[in-house]
C-alpha cells in the first residue's frame, strides 16, 4: 500500500480529508505520526513539508508526541542526507 502514498490524489484524501481534521485528538495525531514515519520515503517534497508543518508539536501536546515527532524529523533528515549523498557522488563516465 506504500506505493499509493506517492500519488497526490491519494495523499489528499488520506491526509487532508480524513486524518488532519481529527488532529485535535491526540490519538489521531499519534496515528498520523506513525503513518508518516512509515511512508515518508514515498511522499513528495511538498506533501512532506505540508504534513510536517501540520504536525509541528505545540506546548499542549504530550511528551510522547514530541518524542515521536523528533524521531520523524531524524528519519526525514537521514533520508534527505542519503538522497543528497547519492546525487553528490560523481558519475563514472568515460572520457
Per-residue cell: 41: 520515503
Residue 95 counted as domain residue = no
- Write down the pTM of the prediction: 0.79
Q: Which domain holds residue 65?
A: 2-86
User: Is the pLDDT at 1 greater than 90, yes or no?
Assistant: no
Q: For the chain, how many structural domains are there in total?
A: 1
Residue 93 counted as domain residue = no
Q: What is the pLDDT of residues 70-87, one digit of tens each?
A: 999 999 999 989 888 888
User: Is the pLDDT at 94 greater than 60, yes or no?
Assistant: no
The C-alpha atoms of residue 22 and residue 6 are separated, in whole angstroms, by 22
Q: What is the mean pLDDT of the chain?
A: 86
Amino acid at each position: 500500500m506504500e506505493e499509493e502514498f506517492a500519488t497526490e490524489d491519494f495523499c489528499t484524501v488520506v491526509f487532508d480529508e480524513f486524518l488532519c481534521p481529527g488532529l485535535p485528538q491526540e490519538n489521531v495525531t499519534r496515528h498520523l505520526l506513525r503513518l508518516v514515519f512509515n511512508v515518508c520515503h514515498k511522499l513528495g517534497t511538498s506533501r512532506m513539508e505540508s504534513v510536517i508543518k501540520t504536525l509541528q508539536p505545540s506546548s499542549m501536546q504530550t511528551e510522547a508526541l514530541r518524542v515521536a515527532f523528533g524521531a520523524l524529523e531524524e528519519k526525514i533528515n537521514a533520508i534527505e542526507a542519503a538522497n543528497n549523498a547519492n546525487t553528490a557522488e560523481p558519475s563514472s563516465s568515460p572520457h
